């Protein structure tokens, strides 16, 4: 398959590497300055959960085919930019898409309306890969959990039969693609709502990070983890008011349990190297990016009249977040 990965950050580079290793023709789109560095090759240091829970670190040298514009036809375009960059990416992709399909591996709080305004339901799918890490020069240090979720653009809604069938075929092709590359795909019926719930959890994590002084210290701080659970409950309440069922996410139960025992359990889980690398990757986001996640959820909650006492209690800390 001929694939373009739009976004040369940690996730984009890691996905491009994984699909290239599976034998696909993959191009990685990057800004000109970044393209020069990538063209020299990237050292991959990845705890690769595709090989199992106790997978050793994989070390490889990845020489991506780097492009700086969309001047070719692709079967698949995978978008891995940050959530407020997705609309701009879409504007660049749509005119050059042709018969290809777009997979949005992006956080999404806005919903699919802005995508539907540009692409037909037959032209895209939604997903999320569980991975993270840091790009430092020409070295990517990160982790794959090994799982990913995928979903149709129809998102559980009524659609004309041919459109629904085409959207499902896109998902079937993607499941086969990522399975071949060693991932364990899970298909979600309503990825729009799943994305809302996932995003709300991130807003809770930003609250915990703000209390701890960063996402890296957050995973070591049980009180900050407890703050994450409480703020996350508020975020899930916003999702519910928006019409989403929070149970769509496998992590729902941990927000319903007493925060004391759950924070102790998560404290042990988060201290693992995979969690540490993923947290370090999120911590590499700018303070502006982290604030945007929080502010988007809060703005929706306020508009819907949702009480968010725990999330709002971190407002001052959120504003004090600084870039490392």
Average pLDDT, the chain: 92
All residue ranges of the chain with pLDDT < 70 are 282-285, 322-324
Distances (CA, A) of 30 to 7, 136, 199, 244, 278: 6, 16, 25, 35, 22
257-268 burial code (b ≥16 CB/10 A, e <16)? eebeebbeebbe
Which residues in the chain are classed under CATH 1.10.1040? 193-319
Instruction: Answer positive or negative: Cα dihedral of 165, 171, 175, 181.
Output: positive
Domain 193-319 is found in CATH 2.60.98: no
Q: Which pLDDT belongs to residue 75?
A: 97
Which residues in the chain are classed under CATH 3.40.50.720? 2-189
First CA to last CA across the chain, in angstroms?
39
Q: Which pLDDT belongs to residue 309?
A: 98
- pLDDT, tens digit (0-9, with 9 covering 90-100), for 148-196: 999 999 998 989 999 999 999 999 999 999 999 999 999 999 999 999 9
Q: Which pLDDT belongs to residue 283?
A: 57
- Give residue 10's region: left, alpha or beta (phi > 0; psi -120 to 50): alpha
Contact 60, 17 (CB under 8 A): yes
Q: Which pLDDT belongs to residue 215?
A: 79
Euclidean distance between CA atoms 126 and 324, whole angstroms:
31
Please name the CATH architecture into which domain 2-189 falls. 3-Layer(aba) Sandwich (3.40)
């Amino acid at each position: 398959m001929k694939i373009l990965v739009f976004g040369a950050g940690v996730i984009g580079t890691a996905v491009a590497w994984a699909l290239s290793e599976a034998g696909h023709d993959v191009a990685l789109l990057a800004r000109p300055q970044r393209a020069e560095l990538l063209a020299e090759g990237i050292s991959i240091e990845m705890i690769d959960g595709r090989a199992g829970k106790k997978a050793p670190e994989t070390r490889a040298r990845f020489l991506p085919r780097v492009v700086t514009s969309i001047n070719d036809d692709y079967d698949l375009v995978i978008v891995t930019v940050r959530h407020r960059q997705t609309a701009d990416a879409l504007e660049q992709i749509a005119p050059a898409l042709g018969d290809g399909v777009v997979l949005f591996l992006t956080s999404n709080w806005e919903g699919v309306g802005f995508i539907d305004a540009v692409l037909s339901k037959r032209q895209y799918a939604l997903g999320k890969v569980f991975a993270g890490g840091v790009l430092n020069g020409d070295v990517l240090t990160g982790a794959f959990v090994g799982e990913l979720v995928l979903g149709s653009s129809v998102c559980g809604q009524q659609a004309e039969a041919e459109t629904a069938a085409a959207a499902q075929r896109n998902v079937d092709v993607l499941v086969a693609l990522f399975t071949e590359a060693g991932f364990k795909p899970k298909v979600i019926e309503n990825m729009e709502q799943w994305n809302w719930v996932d995003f709300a959890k991130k807003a809770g994590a930003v609250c915990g990070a703000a209390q701890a002084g960063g996402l890296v210290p957050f995973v070591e701080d049980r009180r900050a983890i407890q703050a994450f659970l409480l703020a996350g409950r508020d975020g899930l309440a916003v999702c519910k008011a928006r019409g989403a069922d929070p149970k769509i996410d496998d992590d729902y139960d941990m927000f319903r349990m007493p925060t004391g025992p759950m924070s102790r359990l998560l404290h042990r889980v988060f201290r693992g190297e995979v969690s540490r690398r993923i947290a370090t990757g999120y911590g590499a986001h700018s303070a502006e990016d982290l604030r945007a996640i929080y502010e988007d959820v809060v703005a929706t909650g306020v508009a819907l009249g949702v009480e968010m006492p725990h999330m709002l209690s971190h407002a001052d800390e959120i504003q004090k977040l600084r870039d490392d």
